[in-house]
Structure formats: structure tokens, C-alpha cells
Structure 1
Amino acid sequence: MDLDLRKLRYFVAVAEELHFGRAAERLHIAQPVLSRQIRSLEDELGAAVFDRDRRGTLLTPAGEQLLEDAVPLLASTEALLRRVRAAARDTPTLTVGFMPGITVTPATAAFATRRPGVNVRLLRTSWHDQVEVLLDGRADIGIVRLPVDRRGLEVRPLFQEPRVVVLPVGHRLAGHASVTVHDLATEHLLQDPDAVPEWRDVAVELREGRRPEVPAIHQVEEKLELVASGAGICVLPLSTATFYTRPDVVPLPVEGLGPNQVALAWVSSRRSPLVHDFAEAATETLGRPTTREQS
């Protein structure tokens, strides 16, 4: 049996929304059409993927397994299509993902001397999509900030740099030369706690095992706006905090906070000479110790 990728996309939309009406709106199709496609998929699989009753829509064990496998499969399909279309262009192209605060120019300049006929495109990423853009083919290689989910990836460390906490100028700790993780544990963190495991562990301990809730904020600029307004704090790599300098927030060193590791990452199954050459260029340029990294 050949799986219909369109039906898989429909399934993933319903699985993520757990509501046929919202999924139909997201897919821009009529709800009855979506329901028929899901029933057809279930017939082809020989298994029910959703439990539908008065309580709502829930995934069955078969549906949970299908969702786990369908998401990377669809991402691989998207990546295949993008790479084939890129290969058909007259000018070869390499797309490089990069996180805010990281200067990519030395690596792209070194790569240009190796591959002068290649068009290099840059794609700004965030904590939440820096791996996703590699898996679905939007980027061929990425300069990422660890930790990331390494499954299916080749990861090569480049350098590490200190992290700082960013506070509003009127904060009770803003005048200190430095702070500790414990000083910050009761503050409202404006990012994924998994990105700051030292803060997460102390905060969970103070909250008697309850994991702190955080908003879904992906852009540095938005975080800094909220910090300036007094809505919370955020932890950033030193280079990012320096790049986004503004008068209404204060960056401070944090005792007990480990450095941020910057690395190259690409899909491990890729055998592209362009990816290899950029990785070598980035390792030679960005991987060298600098004054910033030693500070």
C-alpha cells in the first residue's frame, strides 16, 4: 500500500488541533471533505486513528504512533522537493540558517573563496525552528544554539559564549554587578524553561515540583519589549544581548549559569559537497577563539 501524503497532512492537522472544524479551517477545506479523507486513511491503514465522541476528538494508540512517524516523514518530503527544485536552478544555492546574535559573514566569505559560483542565502531562525528548517529543507545547514534534538542530525561544536539575564532598568537587581540563578528563580521567565535548565531546576524546586508556565514568545525583539515593560526577564547569549542593546533594559552576568554552545548542524543523511565545504569554512572561521568568547 502506498500512503497518500495529502491524507497524512490532513491527519496531522487534525491531530494537532484535536478538532475537525479547526483543522478544516486551517487546511482551507470543508469539514465533511476532511472527515471523509480521514475515514479513507483509516480504511487504508486498517486502524482507527481518532476516538470521536461527545468529549471531543482524541488520538488512539495507533494515531499517536502515526503522528510520531508522520511529522518527520512529511518534513523529509518537503525537504526532498525543495532540494530537487534548488538543483534544477542554473545557479547552485546553499541556504544557511542562523540564530540571532551570531555573525555569519566570516564563514560565508571563506565559503565564497572555495565555491565562488554558489549563491548563499541566509535564513534567520529562532529557538523553536532552528532544527525544523533543517528537517524540512528550508535550510541546508544551520548555525544553531544548543541544546537541540540531535536525532537525524550531524552536530559539530563551534564555540561557546557566556549568557546573561536581561532585566528592566527599574528592577530590584538591576544595580547589581552580577546575580545568581537563585536570585532569579521567582521571576517570570519569558522563554522556554528548557532553554535555561539551571533556572528551570531551581524554579521547579521552589514551586514544589510544579513546572513554571511560560508564554510562547519566539522573537528576541518581543522578549525585550516585554522585559522593558516589567512583564518578566529573559536569558540571552552575550552576543545577542549586546546586539540588541537598548536603554530600558540591563544585561547582567549570572553566577551558576553555564555558557551557550554554538554549533553547526545538518541532516546526517546529506552528502552534499556544498554542505561539507561550508562546514569546513565555518569551523575554520567561527570556531576560532575570539575576544568575545574568551570574555
Structure 2
Amino acid sequence: SVFGFVTLPKVVAIIRSQTASNVRSISGSYEQIGEHILAGRADLGISRLPLDPGLFEWAPLGSARNVCIFHPDHRFSKQTCIEAQDLAGETIVDIDPQFAAHQMNFNALRFAGVEPDILVEFDCNGHEAGYVSAGLGISITNEIIAREYAAFQLGVRPVEPSALYHYV
């Protein structure tokens, strides 16, 4: 659903300029997006690798690394990169533990000796932008998702260590 903030409106504008077709947007996890396509409920979707090449045709959209998003007045705005030890004492808004991104982020923190202080856990990308813009904490996401939050005018800095995400 997060791609409905910026990316999908641009895509729909292109479709509308070239055809009179209407568009139906369906949200879900990356797994659910694949299920929608396989069941014929969707013609195309945005997902992340890995995908089974025997089931899907896909084209690369871009790769992304982890970033930290924060209120523009946050102390991180003076840094060029955020490292695990910088997160000590920070209130964190994070995706639900069932997601691999959560596990990667928190394994890196714990490896650096930092125990995360989680205020809010959410189950769908996009929810963190409101909490972070309200100054309730920081969040770790990736560059592509962070671009969807342009209207929130959040601070964004690279995070190390980082994972690499491939969107298709």
C-alpha cells in the first residue's frame, strides 16, 4: 500500500494519458501480490526478489539500501550516516517481527550491543511515516519506501550495516 503515496499515482497518470482504462489498486504483502497475479486478480504488481522465475515475468525497478527516517528536528539531521550504536536510547517505530527487515535491523542492533526501545510495531509499510512525523520515534526502512514519504518532509540518512533490497 505504501506505493500508493507517490509511485502508483504517477503510473496511473501515465496509463490515463494513454488510454481510457480505469485502474484497480490492490494492497497486500509481497506474497499476496504474487497470489493476486497468479489468481488473475491483478495484471501487474510491485514486489521484491526473490521471486520464482518459473511463475512470474519481472523487470527490475531498482535496488535499495536501508535508511533511517526521523523528524526533521532530530539530532540525526546533523549526521551523514546512522550506525547501530547511534540508535542507543532512541525510541523506535518498526515493522512487525514477522518481517525479515525487522529481524535484520534488530540483529544488527543487538550485535552492536544495543537493545531496541520499540514504541510501535506496525504490519504494513506506510504506517511509520505518521508516527515518525509526529516526533514519536525513528524508523529504519529502505530508500525506495522512504521516497514514498516525500510529503511528510522527514529526515533520511543511510544506515550501516544495511541490507540490499531488489524491487521488481
Q: TM-score range by the shorter chain?
A: 0.5 to 0.7
> 1:123 aligns to what SS in structure 2?
coil
How far the C-alpha of 1:197 sits from its partner, in A, is 4.4
RMSD: 4.0
CA–CA distance in structure 2, aligned partners of residues 213 and 147 of structure 1: 30
> 1:142 aligns to what SS in structure 2?
coil
> 1:227 aligns to what SS in structure 2?
helix
What whole-Å deviation, never above 9, does each CA across 1:216-238 have from its counterpart, x for those lacking one? 34251x31111122333223332
Identify the structure with the greater helix proportion: 1
1:201 pairs with 78, 82, 107, which one? 107
Q: 1:141 to 1:248 in 2, by over 3 A?
A: closer
| Counterpart for residue 161 of structure 1 | 64
CA–CA distance in structure 2, aligned partners of residues 170 and 98 of structure 1: 24
CA–CA distance in structure 1, aligned partners of residues 96 and 49 of structure 2: 13
What whole-Å deviation, never above 9, does each CA across 1:124-165 have from its counterpart, x for those lacking one? 535xx23224325332432113467x6x95374613134421
8 A contact 2:83–2:161 mirrored in 1: yes
8 A contact 1:179–1:255 mirrored in 2: yes
Q: 1:253 to 1:234 in 2, by over 3 A?
A: same
> 1:215 aligns to what SS in structure 2?
strand
Opposite residue 139 of structure 1, the aligned amino acid is: A
Which of structures 1 and 2 has the bigger CA Rg? Answer: 1
- Give the gaps of 5 or more residues in structure 2: none
CA–CA distance in structure 2, aligned partners of residues 219 and 172 of structure 1: 24
User: TM-score, normalized by length of structure 1?
Assistant: 0.40
Identity fraction in percent: 20
Structure 1 position 132 matched with structure 2 position 32: yes
8 A contact 2:48–2:165 mirrored in 1: yes
Q: 1:124 to 1:189 in 2, by over 3 A?
A: same
CA–CA distance in structure 2, aligned partners of residues 155 and 185 of structure 1: 43
User: TM-score, normalized by length of structure 2?
Assistant: 0.63
Moved over 6 A (4+): none
CA–CA distance in structure 1, aligned partners of residues 85 and 131 of structure 2: 22
CA–CA distance in structure 2, aligned partners of residues 200 and 155 of structure 1: 33
Q: 1:195 to 1:122 in 2, by over 3 A?
A: farther
2:86 pairs with 183, 188, 207, which one? 183
CA–CA distance in structure 2, aligned partners of residues 123 and 102 of structure 1: 12
How far the C-alpha of 1:253 sits from its partner, in A, is 1.6
CA–CA distance in structure 1, aligned partners of residues 149 and 32 of structure 2: 25
Query: What is the total number of aligned residue pairs between the two structures?
Result: 153
Q: 1:143 to 1:243 in 2, by over 3 A?
A: closer
Structure ranking higher on relative contact order (CA contacts 8 Å, 6+ apart): 2
- Give the gaps of 5 or more residues in structure 1: 1-96, 264-295
> 1:202 aligns to what SS in structure 2?
helix
How far the C-alpha of 1:240 sits from its partner, in A, is 3.4
2:132 pairs with 227, 230, 243, which one? 227
